[in-house]
Amino acid sequence: MSANRTSRPDLTAASAVPGTGAGTATGAAAGTASGLAEFLRTRRSRLRPEDVDLPDFGGRRRVAGLRREELAQLAGVSVDYYTRLEQGRVGNPSDAVLDSVARALRLDAEEAGHLHRLARTRPTRAGGVGGAGRGQARVSAAPQKVRPSMARLLDAMPDVPAVVMGRRMDILAWNSAAVALLGDYSALAPAERNIARITFLDPASRTLYDDWVACARENVAFLHLEAGRRPDDPRLAELIGELSVRSQEFRQWWAEHPVRDKTSGHKVFHHPLVGRMELVYDTLRSADDPDQALVTYTADSGSPSEDALRMLISWEADRVARPR
């Protein structure tokens, strides 16, 4: 499903993994009481009284955005209750209360779902994160493997760069067209085949993507969503901890607590062989196994990008077929 090649970008640039403290990794995952507090505080800081039709009596505010009492007023709960909710000290908040808080904070559907998951996390007696709550996934200890149907789809799409993305943005499988566009993942150890890890730790990614910042921020937002879904995933906590230690940008953007699913959009690539390409990516999930997604890259029909992508894939096919 992949060709033996170490191509640009140089994915092996991200191979050195320093040790990270358990506290750093665990604290980074957003499925804890601190994650809930962080999420609510960042969303409060985005709003001003005039944004929500509240009077602003002037004076210097100690923190940016709405005060807790203002948010509580908008949500129709007591200040004490909202304070305890933000501190993760409400054991089982009702859906109605969480929906009211989401409306008061002007959350979109993905952010509101994330709020519900964070509020349902059950802490253990030791202070860690316990079993998954409603809307959260239990993580199997067994390594995730690509579904046979997904593998067949990859083989049936030789002219479309595609990868199968698993939990925590792990790369489970890919086709030769993906090797041509993104590089050869077989050059990495399985534990290093991760989209977010490569994006932040491989310097070549910064030149491959025209808007690297937007791409990297999307990865942070999706990892936050994953952390809310899988608060008891030690490998996810380890990944977040490593990226927090090794990337200042990751630390900064993680603290903003963005939340966004990986769906579809446009990306501009600057490939060293064919130059600039404007591609559309789509993320396709199976209804019975949403933990695996097929991510494809295509170009508009008749565009210069389509010609460049076709040429790139053809070169890769010729390279693979060439006698060694």
Reported as a single tens digit per residue, the pLDDT across 176-193 is 999 999 999 999 999 999
d(CA 189, CA 241): 19
- Whether 187 and 8 have beta carbons less than 8 Å apart is answered as no
Task: Give residue 171's domain range.
Answer: 11-21+141-321
Tens-place pLDDT, residues 105-130: 999 999 999 999 998 875 443 334 44
Q: Tell me which of 96-100, 217-221, 231-235 is least confident.
A: 231-235
Long-range CB contacts (within 8 A, 24+) of 85-88:
85/36, 85/40, 85/119, 86/36, 86/37, 86/40, 86/41, 87/33, 87/37, 88/32, 88/33, 88/34, 88/36, 88/37, 88/123
**CA angle at residue 35 from 34 to 40, to 5 degrees?**
100
Residue 268 pairs in a beta bridge with 278
Q: Which of helix, strand or coil describes residue 61? A: coil
On whether residue 134 sits in a domain, the answer given is: no
Of 10-19, 162-171, 228-237, 272-281, minimum mean pLDDT range: 10-19
Which residues, 6+ apart, have CB-to-CB distance to 216 below 8 Å?
Answer: 199, 200, 249, 250, 253
Q: How confident is the model at residue 137 (pLDDT cuts 50, 70, 90)?
A: low
Cβ-based neighbours of 38, under 8 Å, separated by 6 or more = 30, 255, 257
Regarding whether 53 and 17 lie in a shared domain, the answer is no
Query: For residues 217 and 164, is the Cβ–Cβ distance under 8 A?
Result: no
Domain check: are 145 and 114 in the same one?
no
Domain boundary among 120, 150, 178: 120
Going by C-alpha positions, the residue among 292, 262, 293, 266 that lies closest to residue 278 is 266
- Of 200, 182, 195, the closest CA to residue 273 belongs to 182
Answer yes or no: are the C-beta atoms of 299 and 262 closer than 8 Å: no
In three-state secondary structure terms, 295 is strand
Residue 157 lies in a domain: yes
- 104 and 247 assigned to the same domain: no
How many alpha carbons lie under 13 Å from residue 147 in its C-beta half-sphere? 16
Last residue of a domain, one of 120, 149, 174: 120
| Whole-structure pTM value | 0.82
- Of 85, 120, 155, which residue sits at a domain end? 120
Whose CA is closest to 221, among 182, 246, 256, 191? Answer: 256
Asked if 110 and 172 sit in the same domain, the reply is no
Within-domain flag for 6: no
Q: Is residue 3 part of a domain?
A: no
Does residue 301 lie in a domain region? yes
The tens digit of pLDDT for each residue in 54-90 reads 877 566 667 778 989 999 999 999 999 999 998 888 8
What is the domain-level CATH number for residue 69?
1.10.260.40
- What is the residue-wise DSSP string for 220-272? HHHHHHHHHH-TT-HHHHHHHHHHHHH-HHHHHHHHT-------EEEEEEEET
What per-residue confidence (pLDDT) applies to 205?
95
- Same structural domain, 266 and 162: yes
Higher-pLDDT residue of 15 and 226 is 226
Q: Do 101 and 149 share a domain, yes or no?
A: no
Tell me, yes or no, whether 130 lies in a domain: no
Measure the N-to-C terminal CA separation of the chain; round to a whole number of Å: 18
Give yes or no: residues 16 and 48 share one domain.
Answer: no
Regarding whether 59 and 16 lie in a shared domain, the answer is no
Residues near 234 by beta carbon (within 8 Å), at least 6 away in sequence? none
What distance in Å separates the CA atoms of residue 203 and residue 182, rounded to the nearest whole number? 13
Distance CA 236, CA 102 (A): 26
Strands in 162-165's sheet, in edge-to-edge order, are: 171-174, 162-165, 289-298, 275-286, 264-271
| Residues 6 or more apart whose Cβ sits within 8 Å of residue 57 | none
pLDDT in tens, 234-292: 999 999 999 999 999 999 999 999 999 988 999 999 999 999 999 999 999 988 888 99
CATH number of the domain within which 257 lies: 3.30.450.180
Cα separations (Å) of 209 from 189, 204, 216?
Answer: 23, 9, 10
pLDDT at 195: 97
pLDDT value at residue 241: 96
pLDDT of residue 217: 97
| Pair (161, 286) in one structural domain | yes
Q: Is residue 2 a part of any domain in this protein?
A: no
What residue type is 211 in one-letter code?
A: D
Question: Which residues have CB under 8 Å from 64's CB, separation 6+?
Answer: 45
| Mean model confidence pLDDT for the chain | 84
pLDDT band at 31 (very low <50, low <70, confident <90, very high): very low
Looking at residue 314, what is its pLDDT? Answer: 94
Give the whole-angstrom CA distance, residue 294 versus residue 275: 25
Indicate whether 126 belongs to any domain. no
**Count of domains for the chain:** 2
Please tell me whether residues 109 and 180 are part of one structural domain: no
